């Protein structure tokens, strides 16, 4: 009978390494993006990095993310993704 503790520990280490490399890529990409009034849009980061959107949002909410001096905040509200939009017109289907 084998245990999965060894593989679980290995997966966790690989996951942490992957998060660290995504974080590093994200920090480099943000430094190259246009900043408007101290704000960078999540859509611009998403396009630049091609990191999956849900993972990108989690990474941007981390406390240990190092932002350039000219970036005060990151707007996490997407203009490109429908489910992130609030309000708007709700269309009804015709029968």
Q: How confident is the model at residue 86 (pLDDT cuts 50, 70, 90)?
A: low
Non-local (6+) Cβ contacts of 14 within 8 A are none
Q: In this predicted model, what pLDDT tens digit does every residue of 26-66 receive, in sequence order? A: 999 999 999 999 999 999 999 999 999 999 999 999 889 99
Contact, 43 vs 9, CB < 8 A? no
Is pLDDT of 94 > 90?
Answer: no
Q: In this predicted model, what pLDDT tens digit does every residue of 10-29 receive, in sequence order? A: 888 888 899 999 999 999 99
Give the C-alpha distances (Å, rounded to integers) separating 43 from 5, 27, 49, 84. 39, 15, 10, 11
What are the two backbone dihedrals, phi and then psi, of residue 44, each rounded to the nearest 5 degrees? -65, -40
CA distance 65 to 71: 12
Is pLDDT of 91 > 60?
Answer: yes
Is pLDDT of 85 > 80?
Answer: no
Tell me the domain boundaries of the chain. Answer: 16-78
């Amino acid at each position: 009978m084998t245990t999965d503790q060894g593989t679980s520990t290995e997966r966790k280490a690989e996951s942490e390494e992957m998060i660290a490399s995504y974080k590093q890529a994200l920090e480099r990409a943000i430094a190259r993006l246009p900043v408007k009034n101290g704000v960078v849009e999540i859509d611009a980061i998403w396009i630049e990095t091609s990191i999956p959107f849900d993972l990108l949002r989690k990474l941007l909410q981390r406390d240990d993310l190092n932002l350039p001096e000219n970036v005060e905040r990151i707007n996490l509200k997407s203009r490109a993704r429908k489910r992130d939009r609030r309000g708007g017109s709700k269309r009804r289907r015709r029968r």
